[in-house]
Chains A and B, each alone.
Chain A
Amino acid sequence: MTKQPAIELKNITKRFGKVVANKNVNLTAYRGEILSVLGENGSGKTTLMNMISGIYFPDEGHIFIDGKEAVITSPKEAFGYKIGMIHQHFKLVDVFSAAENIVLGIENGKYNLKDSAKEIKKISEQYGFDVDPKKKIYTMSVSEKQTVEIIKVLYRGADILILDEPTAVLTPQETEKLFAILRRMRDDGKCIIIITHKLHEVLSLSDRVSVLRKGEYIGTVNTSETSESELTEMMVGKKIDLNIQRDEPKNTEERLTVNSITCVDKTGTVMLDNVSFSVKSGEILGIAGIAGSGQRELLESIAGLQRLEYGDIFYFDPKTGKKESLRDKNPLQIRQMGVRLSFVPEDRLGMGLVGNMDIVDNMMLRSYSKGHSLFLKRNKPKSLAMKIINDLEVVTPSASTPVRRLSGGNVQKVLVGREISSSPTVLMVAYPVRGLDINSSYMIYNLLNQQKAQGVAIIFVGEDLDVLVELCDRIMVIGSGRVTGVVDARTTTKEEIGLLMTKPKDDGKENGNG
């Protein structure tokens, strides 16, 4: 059987103001195949796909569907061409049921949720989904929500499916399940385009890979004829050593002990349930878990930003050797003891930096209280800002550019750089490489390793299990606010961690915090 091109992009260019997001991109996807679009963050993958799904309109170039030129100016028209996009951030209405979300926006036919539910059941059986049409979205897990998203496009009869980073929020087991479904769809003759930056997924799932770099189309290769290092080279433009170095911890001693702490959020949901662990100096403790399992609360508890219902946190001062309780210290006192939180929240600017202030002023946020004069002195923070810009290769017009104008990766460098500069004894980082390209990610890993070598106790909350397994010394897995296991990162497998992540609670009840 000769393959039919389902969709062809020819010389697509898209600009946002002066920024060129896509430049002369050519891409072809066939029916009955899975095509990966690979590229680093900011390489224009999502923009490109948004043009196919009608969210954006290309400035130049043509899109052909089944050989005919198509002009897609709105998501509705994209549905008309049987194109369905599953966005990275789910586009679902929380208070609606699955069925309501699935039929949303469909105009033909009668509005009858019962009939729709039957149709949904039929699709589910065909591809092996498991979904209750009446279930409300806000009670669903991430993987269930994604299922609803996929059924939503299938319900509209889509046969070109675009998935934007579908595995970013899934456990390895859920990912496998999704891949099985995608393969079934491919065998059913659908054209599947998956956007990702995870190499091993590309290799295990797709038939062909197209690579984008900085908005430009680099090339397409058959998955069976390529390798991880070749793809990385295409992606980054130069050869990179993909191994993260990991030294044995040296001179370990107790630094921080968390003793069965429990936290409750303001709605009364238990966010941390009897969590105990300890971190030693000179080691990296990884924390793995599905997003929203209590990672944030855990770090905030240590930094003194959360009220503890029960439990205690002890800090062992390396200079005096004294054991001190952090429980009744305020965040400033805890910081001065050397416990540093470099929390990179989901919206990046949320907690660590003030977006409208420049790099120098953001440096000063951490040091202003040390000044004794009535007026601010900008010399020291300025030299620190320059040092971070140089050392970490922050791309910015100047040190006085508002932080919010920097790209996500550069914001993260500024944040991590500032926390490291204060020579902490305990360093907590959450998602420090989220949104960073490979080069910058490795730079952050190196920084963490340097800190580790200097005897800092590091707590690393991460989402990419591959990285956790390669970088950390020990990995603690949390699920629904409880510690479900602590494993040795040198001997564990991703699958083992994945199982721990989804280990059900004892009462088997699901918690709807998402």
Chain B
Amino acid sequence: MIVQFICRAILLAVPMLYGTTGEIVTEKSGHLNLGIPGVMYVGAISGVVGSFLYENACGNDIANMNGFLAVIIPLLCSIAGSVIMGLIYSFLTVTLHANQNVTGLALTTLGIGLGNFLGASLINITKSELPSIALTKTSSFFTVKLPFADDLGWFGELLFSHDFMTYLAIIIALAVTFVLNRTRVGLNLRSVGESPATADAAGINVIKYRYVATCIGSAIAGLGGIQYVMSYASGVWSNNAFGDRGWMAIALVIFALWKPSAAIAGAFLFGALCNANNYIQGLGTETQELFKMLPYVATIVVLIITSVRKKREHQPPASLGINYFREER
């Protein structure tokens, strides 16, 4: 039961971890992308469209499907979709100097609307009775387990029974940590988010860094969307099922104090908190709703603690949310 609880928490955690890692990369460049929920949603639906087309091209027979293509097509589509969202955000804020908060919120609305439109269109095409699209064949390729996982009992289940996207999420988070703290690119990126004028004077291309970081961040976040559909929802897309995971990912950025390595632990904690209500006996529906607040309560607690402690390293990037104009001195 405990093993099951933890596995379930991990399953819930992974989409958030993608979203958070992506948002951290974005925020380190000084972009407060509140469009992450929309980006993840578009990432999910783009992947779904890709996989839908591939499944149909193979005549809906799993024997015709190539495992590698079944995985790589949705992933590439997902990345393409979310990078386009990142590009829209960067174009509006960097090139057109639009307000970041407004742009982000608009992107969330746009992303969810677009996702639902495409989702409903696909449901229309399949003429399905249910308001959902089942891509279970593709999903089966996503959820391949390591062969020896079942031989190791609970230990195997805990550590090796997850889909490859789970491990990828952790690898990406660790890689981002390494890049941010140990490489020149990371130093430059952090300086762009802290003080773009300084970075500019030091010869760093602020515009390039902001564009690239936002697009890479969006791509990572978008992977969380497709991972959710293929692994958590077993390949079933239905409109609005993604819920508020995108917002939770943004809360998790604050919770993790802008550190991707801390976000790994934070995501699992959030996953566990989201999930706890299912494992506690005798809860009424209203108490269950209260439990869903726990991740946000945890975020507020972290905010209180960090603002009391006032450690500069725990603050958001200094220029977060502020656009950079060179001419303004």
Contact = CB atoms under 8 A, between A and B. Distances in A.
Say if A and B assemble together: yes
A105 B199 contact: yes
Given A75-B200, A79-B203, A138-B312, A95 B194 contact: yes
A75 B310 contact: no
B127 interface: no
A76 B310 CA distance: 35
Given A55-B326, A100-B187, A107-B184, A93 B195 contact: yes
A409 to B, nearest CB: 17
Interface in A66-89: 74-76, 79, 85, 87, 89
A106 B202 CA distance: 8
A55 B313 contact: no
A91 B198 CA distance: 4
B183 A104 contact: no
A267 interface: yes
A64 interface: no
B87 interface: no
A92 B195 contact: yes
Most central of B182, B188, B200, B202 by chain A CB within 10 Å: B202
B201 interface: yes
Interface in A35-61: 53, 55
Most central of A74, A95, A103, A107 by chain B CB within 10 Å: A95
A147 B197 CA distance: 19
Interface in B156-197: 182-184, 187-188, 190-191, 194-195, 197
Given A93-B195, A95-B194, A96-B194, A111 B312 contact: no
A328 interface: no
B236 interface: no
Contacts of B188: 104-105
A330 B183 CA distance: 54
Contacts of A91: 195, 197-198, 201-202
Contacts of A106: 184
A104 B313 contact: no
Interface residues of B, number: 24
Contacts of A100: 187
A434 interface: no
A94 B197 CA distance: 12
A439 B315 CA distance: 44
Contacts of A121: none
B310 A104 contact: no
Contact of B203 (A75, A87, A267): A75
Given A76-B203, A104-B191, A105-B188, A95 B198 contact: no
A165 B278 CA distance: 65
B204 interface: yes
A104 B187 contact: yes
Interface in B299-329: 310, 312-313, 315, 318, 326, 329
Main secondary structure of the interface of A (DSSP, over half): loop
A267 B184 contact: no
A136 interface: yes
Contacts of B190: 93, 96
Given A94-B194, A95-B318, A104 B312 contact: no
Nearest to A53: B201
Contacts of B202: 75, 91, 104-105
A103 B187 contact: yes
Nearest to B318: A94
A94 B199 contact: no
Contacts of A268: 310
A93 B191 contact: yes
A267 B310 contact: yes
A267 B312 CA distance: 12
Most central of B195, B197, B326 by chain A CB within 10 Å: B195
B194 A104 contact: no
A219 B194 CA distance: 41
Nearest to B204: A105
A446 B319 CA distance: 42
A169 B243 CA distance: 53
A95 B313 contact: yes
A75 B329 CA distance: 15
B193 to A, nearest CB: 9
Nearest to A152: B202
Contacts of B326: 55
A81 to B, nearest CB: 12
A449 B103 CA distance: 53
A53 B202 CA distance: 11
Contacts of B187: 96, 100, 103-104, 111
Contacts of A103: 184, 187
B200 A94 contact: no
B184 A93 contact: no
A111 B203 contact: no
Contacts of B195: 91-94
Interface in B189-222: 190-191, 194-195, 197-204
A87 B191 contact: no
A77 to B, nearest CB: 8
Contacts of B191: 93, 96, 104-105
B203 to A, nearest CB: 3
A397 to B, nearest CB: 23
Nearest to B313: A95
A81 B312 CA distance: 36
B312 A136 contact: yes
A107 B190 CA distance: 15
B53 to A, nearest CB: 43
B192 to A, nearest CB: 10
B313 to A, nearest CB: 6
Given A55-B326, A94-B312, A100-B187, 5 more contacts: A79-B203, A91-B201, A93-B198, A111-B183, A268-B310
11 contacts: A75-B203, A91-B195, A91-B197, A91-B201, A93-B190, A93-B191, A93-B194, A94-B318, A104-B198, A104-B202, A111-B182
Closest 8 CB pairs of A and B: A105-B202, A76-B203, A91-B198, A111-B184, A91-B201, A93-B194, A105-B203, A104-B202
